[in-house]
Amino acid sequence: MRRIFFSSLFSTIIFSQNYSAKVYGFSVANAQLTLKPDSINLQFKTNGIVDFIWPSDNTYFTYYDSAHFGLKTFQKKIREENFDQKCLIELNDGILKYKKETRVRGDSTKTIFTMLAMVTRRTYKTLDTQWFEMDHEGKPILGRFLWAGTETITIGHTNILCDHFRMDFRHIDETTGFLTQTDRFMQYAPNPDGVFQIWVERNGNRRIIRVTINVYGFPYEIVLKND
């Protein structure tokens, strides 16, 4: 009975972490990542001078299958300068649907967000070098994690031992996605020519501690806040 109780308690645990996004060491945004057993939610809002020049207030919410991290539903609400967008994409019985458009996808098809959830739940041995079928707003791609070893990241006065991964993306074909225009994050994050790295806490809650994205010469760093 005690084991069943703790198992039930763990399945309802919510992990919510706050992050600072930086470019060349300067803070440009605040982010909050909330993980549940079957969903991942990212909120992102610019700050400082960037909020006056390129303001963004974006939310991305994804439900996934907790067994294989395949997409169920993806929603986003985008508010950027001169650009607002709402989007709902659903995957059900092998059919990916956005409004009246559809694509054929396997039920275990992942997205960049479910990949982030998966890397916090599985060991590096089960992920390393394996290509996964993904979808990016209607465009088919492949993604994988390459384990680069362990590294200690210092947050405030705390040293956190992390698994260090590089994420690779590969376009399968020239098929276009559902959206003729998208937000900056979704445009740049899965770029095959970019360098995407992630550090995940090895022990404890396996939190995402640090993410770096280098696209078109801009080094983005997203790091856990020392709250």
Burial class (CB in 10 A: 0-12, 13-18, 19+), 22: middle
- Residues 6 or more apart from 154 whose CB is under 8 A from it? 160
CA dihedral sign, ordered 59, 50, 208, 183: positive
Q: What is the pLDDT of residue 13?
A: 56
Q: What whole-number distance in Å separates Cα of residue 41 and Cα of residue 76?
A: 10
CA dihedral sign, ordered 97, 131, 66, 29: negative
Splitting the chain (227 residues) into consecutive groups of 10 residues, what average pLDDT does each group show?
39 75 92 96 94 94 98 97 96 97 97 97 96 97 97 95 97 89 90 92 93 88 86
Q: What whole-number distance in Å separates Cα of residue 224 and Cα of residue 227?
A: 9
Which residue segments constitute the domains of the chain, with CATH numbers given?
13-224 (2.50.20)
Q: What is the pLDDT of residue 227?
A: 57
Q: What is the pLDDT of residue 38?
A: 97
pTM, rounded to two decimals:
0.90
Q: What whole-number distance in Å separates Cα of residue 62 and Cα of residue 31?
A: 16
